Copies of this chain bind each other. A is one copy, B any other.
């Protein structure tokens, strides 16, 4: 699993950074989280393939998280997309889309399936052969949810390169090896499984939490994840502003990471009043050493 940041600025317009959007990559799949104004341009800039996006997850209906959605869907339609698109988000999202589709005469070339999510109780949204995706109720001025991505163990093992000719494996032997069953050579000797197949990839978990004030419920929801993206709009000096606007400081984010025992914390949703993450890291790392600031275009591997 890999996360690529398309935008990590807060709502205040700032020339150096874009509004919230990111892509979770798992094998050939691309899951888009949030879609601030300009996201479709960022998607093209960072060469994310449009046709790989089948799911979009909106955290809340503030403009910096959602105003790029109608433009992106319009561009899907202009490219004559056929595959349905599942869009998840809080109450109001359906009307937000429908009214704009109507007024802007967007004639969809594909089905947009809007799924309204609860912002008070966690729910499992996607559960297939590769991934589980569920919501994380957040604590913001308006109803908001984060999203938790948990990969599943692969059902079949991957063969090491060149083992098929090297051992002269038959189709049945290949199937057995991939299924983790014993395979014997022509002399009837067991071929050590490690020689045939690659080690199984560990399952990983990624949590996206933006926008939110510090919340114990979030701590519970993200316990032990490999990577946590938590908003850290402000520094401690702006604590009053953070409280007033329902946002977190770098210290809040670090406290969530530390209490939840996550492996790594990346900070996002930086206020336009700050040029970079330097001061945020100085406040967060004494609490949680494995803290990093996100940068646009960067990939974070799990």
User: Which A residues are closer than 8 A to B by beta carbons?
Assistant: 11-13, 15, 18, 37-38, 40-41, 44-45, 61-64, 66-68, 70-71, 74-75, 78, 92, 95-96, 99-100, 103-106, 141-142
Contacts and interface: CB of A to CB of B under 8 A. Distances in A.
Contact of A70 (B11, B38, B63): B63
A38 B39 CA distance: 9
Given A96-B100, A100-B96, A105 B141 contact: yes
Contacts of A96: 99-100, 103-104
Contacts of A100: 63, 96, 99-100
A141 B106 CA distance: 12
16 contacts: A12-B75, A12-B78, A13-B41, A37-B68, A61-B103, A62-B105, A63-B71, A63-B100, A63-B104, A67-B70, A95-B99, A95-B103, A99-B99, A100-B100, A105-B141, A105-B142
Given A15-B41, A15-B44, A67 B99 contact: no
A3 B37 CA distance: 25
A71 B37 contact: yes
A108 to B, nearest CB: 12
Contacts of A68: 37
Given A13-B41, A41-B38, A67 B103 contact: no
A233 to B, nearest CB: 13
A104 B95 CA distance: 11
A300 to B, nearest CB: 24
